[in-house]
Amino acid sequence: MKFDTPAGTNPIDQLNVIGQPADRIDGKLKTTGTAPYAYEQHAAVPNPAYGYIVGAGIGKGRIASIDSTQASNSSGVIAIVTYENAGPLAKGEFYVARALAGPQVDHYHQAVAIVVAQTFEEARSAAHLLEITYVAEPGAFDLAAAKDSATPPPPAGFGPPPQTQTGDFEGAFNAAPIQIDQHYSTPPDQAHAMMEPHATIAQWNGNSLTLWTSIQQINWGVRDLAKTLGIRKEEIRLISPYIGGGFGGKGTILCDAVLASLAARHARRPVKVALPRPLMFNNLTHRPATLQRIRLGASRRGLITAIGHESWSGNLPGGRAEAATASTRLLYAGANRMTRLNLAVLDLAEGSAMRAPGEAPGMMALEIAMDELAEKLGIDPLQLRLLNDTQVDPEQPSRPFSTRQLVECLQTGAKQFGWHQRNASAGQRLENGWLIGIGLASAIRGAPTTASAARVRLDRHGTITVETDMTDIGTGSYTIIAQTAAEMMGVELDRVEVRLGDSRFPESSGSGGQWGAASSTAGVYAACVKLREAAARAVGFDPQTAEFSHGEVHDGTRHFPLAHAAAAGDLVGEDRMEFGDLAQRFAQQTFGAHFAEVAVNAATGEIRLRRQLAVCAAGRILNPKTARSQIIGGMTMGAGAALMEELQVDKRLGFFVNHDLAGYEVPVHADIPHQQVIFLDEVDPYATPLKAKGVGELGISGAAAAIANAIYNATGVRVRDYPITLDKLIAHLPEQI
C-alpha cells in the first residue's frame, strides 16, 4: 500500500481502541522481571560460553604486540579473538567506528580482544592476563582546541544540510536595530546511560548466524552485520523482543554483536556478551558536545529579520556532525536566514544519535537566545515567540506545514502553568531563602515516516496475531500495534497477540528518529486492510462495504462472528506501507511548549526543579498513557542535560573519566518534581492513515532551555554553558532582598 494522498475517514476514526489509555500489554512481564532480554535467553541457549571484551588502554596509537599465553592457559578459557585471528572485518553503513582495533587504535576502550571461557568469572580473570603493548600517539580530544580546524561536513542522509542560506543574512543582521550575538555550549558529551547494557548471545549453525541482541533497528542490524562479517543477509537472524532502553544508542550493531559473533565462531559454541559500564561509555556512541553561535536581528517591535545559527561538534573521521541547526530552520519566521554546521576530527568514541539528535542540543541554545532577545526588546518572552510564528516553511514559503499548533501550545501552557505570575524582573522573587523563577521554551521535532511492513493472521478462535520486526525499547510498541490491529479488525484488545523483534518477520521501520510509532502502525494498518478483504470474502461479503465491530463482520443486516471467516484455516494479510511525496509537499513536524519553575538557594546556588509542564501537538495520540510516559521521560532527560549530565574528558589521555553510573550523574526520582503533560486535539491526515505522528523525542526538545530560562528568571544570572551547576551561579547571585 502506498500513502500518497491525505487520509480520509477510515476504521481508525472509530476510536474504540485507538486513542484510549490502554495499559501496556507487556507491563506485567516488565514489572515481574519475566520479560526475557537479550542476555537472558536461557531457554533458547541453555549452555553458552561467556565472552569478556578487553578495551584499548590508550586514546590513540597502535598495538605493538599481544601476548595471550597466560590468558590461554587460564582456567576455563576456550578461545581468544584479536585482530590477528579475527579475519577481515568491514564496517556497517551507519556507524563509522571499527568494532575491533588492530593494529591501529582509534579511541580509548576500542575493543582489542574478546576472551571466551566456560564462565563469566573465568573469562574476566583471563582477560586481565592478556599482555598488550601499545605505542601511543598524540590525539585530538578537545573540541574547543580543535574548533578552528573544523570544516563543513559532507551531506548526510540524516539531519539538515551542512549549510543553508535564505535571503541576505549578514546584511539584514547588520542593519537590524536590535541584535543578539552570543556563544553557547551544550554538555561536554552525554551518555545514553540506558538501564540494560549492550548485550548479545551469538550462535552459529553451519553458515547461519542467530543473534539475540539489544538493538533498535533490526533491519539496519542485519544489513550492517552482514557487511561487517562479509556474509549474506539471508544467513543472519536477529531476535530482540525486549529492550531495556536505547535512546539512539542501540540503533544498529555495535562491538558486542560483532565480537560475540566472532567469538562464537572460534569457540564453536554459543557465546554471550554483556558490556561493562566503562566500555559502554568509552567504547560505544554518545551525544557529542557542541559549541554554538546564534545571531538574531529584530525590528524594534520584535519581528525577527535575521536568524543565524552556527554549530561546531567533533567526531571520528567519517563521522556525522551533531545536527544542532535543524530546529532553527523551521521554528520561527524571518526572511533572512543562515545555518552552518562545522565538524572537527576528534579521537574520542563515536558521536552519534541520542534522543532528538539536533533539536535537543540546538534548542538548548536557540531558546535561550530567544529569551535574551526578548529581554533586549523589553517584551515578554512568550509574546516574542507568538509574534514570530509562521504557518509556512520559512525557507520555502510555498510549502505549508501539514499541521502547526505552536501558538496554541504556548498559549495553553501559559494559562495552565500560571505564566502571568512570573516576575518580569529577574532575581526579585525570594521565598524562605530560595530565589524562584519561571521559564519557557518552544518545542519542535520532525515527524518523519519510513516504509514499514507487517503480517496479520486470523485463526479459527478469532484471535489476531501481528508479526513485524518492529522493536519495543520501552516505548509501548507492543500496545499501540495491538490497538491498531484491534481497531481495524473490530475486536477487543485482549484478542490480539503481538510478536515483535525478529528479523524473520516482515521488515518494519524500527525504533528511532521519532518515526517508529507512526510508521509501524501504518504498516499494521496496511496488513489489516488485506486481512479485512480476505475475511469479508471468506464469509461472502463485499470487501468494500463490509464492516468489522464487536468481534463480528457486518454487511447490511447480515453478520457473522469474525472467527467464522477462518473456519477453513487461518487467514493472513501481509503488506508494506510506503510513503509518497506528502512529506515533500508539506512540512511535517511536531510542536510543543515547555514550562519550568525552579528554586535556587540564594546562599549556595543549589538548584531545585519544582515543576514542569509540556504541551504537545503531535497528530492523533494513539495511546495517551504511553505517550505521556514518553514525554515525561524526555522532560527528565532534558532536566539531566540542563543541570547535571556531562562526560568529563581527560584531554591528555583521551577518555571519559566518569565512565559509570557512579560518576556520571543522571536525574533520579528525588530530582524530578511534579510533571504535567497536555496533548492538544490534533489529527494530521498528511502524516499516515492513522493521522498520527511520533512523540518520543518531542518531550526533550526545548525542555532544558525552559529550565535554563527559569534559572535566569530566578537569579538574574545568565549561564550559556550547560550543565548549569551551582559553581556557575554562586559568585554572581544577587544579594538577598
Mean pLDDT, the chain, whole residue set? 97
Burial of 88 (0-12, 13-18, 19+ CB in 10 A): exposed
Which of 402, 383, 404 has the alpha carbon at shortest distance from 303?
383
CA pair distance 709, 719, nearest whole angstrom = 9
- Across the chain, how many H-helices and E-strands are there? 16, 32
Bridge-based pairing of strands 49-55 and 271-274 is parallel
Report CA torsion sign: 166, 172, 176, 181. positive
Report percent pLDDT > 90 for the chain: 98
- Return the DSSP state at 240: -
pLDDT tens digits, one per residue of 430-452: 999 999 999 999 999 999 999 99
Q: Residues 188-207: what's their mean pLDDT?
A: 96
Which residues are 91's β-sheet partners? Answer: none
pLDDT tens digits, one per residue of 612-630: 999 999 999 999 999 999 9
Q: How confident is the model at residue 155 (pLDDT cuts 50, 70, 90)?
A: confident
pLDDT tens digits, one per residue of 400-417: 999 999 999 999 999 999
Cell of 88: 577481515
> What confidence score (pLDDT) does residue 188 get?
84
Domain layout of the chain by residue ranges: 2-35+449-583
pLDDT tens digits, one per residue of 177-187: 999 999 999 98
Q: What is the pTM of this model?
A: 0.97
> What confidence score (pLDDT) does residue 259 get?
98
Q: Residues 482-505: what's their mean pLDDT?
A: 98
Residue with cell 468489522: 548
pLDDT tens digits, one per residue of 370-388: 999 999 999 999 999 999 9
E strands, 218-335, are 236-239, 271-274, 290-298, 304-315
Q: Residues 713-725: what's their mean pLDDT?
A: 98
Q: Contacts by 460-464 with C-beta closer than 8 Å and gap 24+?
A: 460/563, 460/566, 460/567, 460/569, 460/570, 461/563, 462/491, 462/495, 462/551, 462/561, 462/562, 462/563, 462/566, 463/495, 463/496, 463/497, 464/489, 464/491, 464/495, 464/496, 464/497, 464/531
Among the residues of 167-297, which ranges form H helices? 169-175, 218-229, 255-267, 277-283
Q: How confident is the model at residue 133 (pLDDT cuts 50, 70, 90)?
A: very high
Cell of 212: 539475540
> What confidence score (pLDDT) does residue 158 get?
77
Task: Please answer whether residues 26 and 242 qualify as being in contact, where contact means their C-beta atoms are separated by less than 8 angstroms.
Answer: yes
Contacts of 729 (CB under 8 A, 6+ apart): 600, 605, 607, 711, 715, 717, 719
Task: Give me the active site residues, please.
Answer: 697
Contacts of 313 (CB under 8 A, 6+ apart): 143, 288, 289, 290, 291, 321, 322, 324, 341, 342, 343, 344, 351
Q: How confident is the model at residue 737 (pLDDT cuts 50, 70, 90)?
A: low
Q: Is the pLDDT of residue 573 over 90?
A: yes
- The verdict on domain 2-35+449-583 having CATH code 3.30.365.10 is yes
Burial of 246 (0-12, 13-18, 19+ CB in 10 A): buried
Q: Is 393 helix (H, G, I), strand (E, B) or coil?
A: strand
Q: Is the pLDDT of residue 157 over 90?
A: no
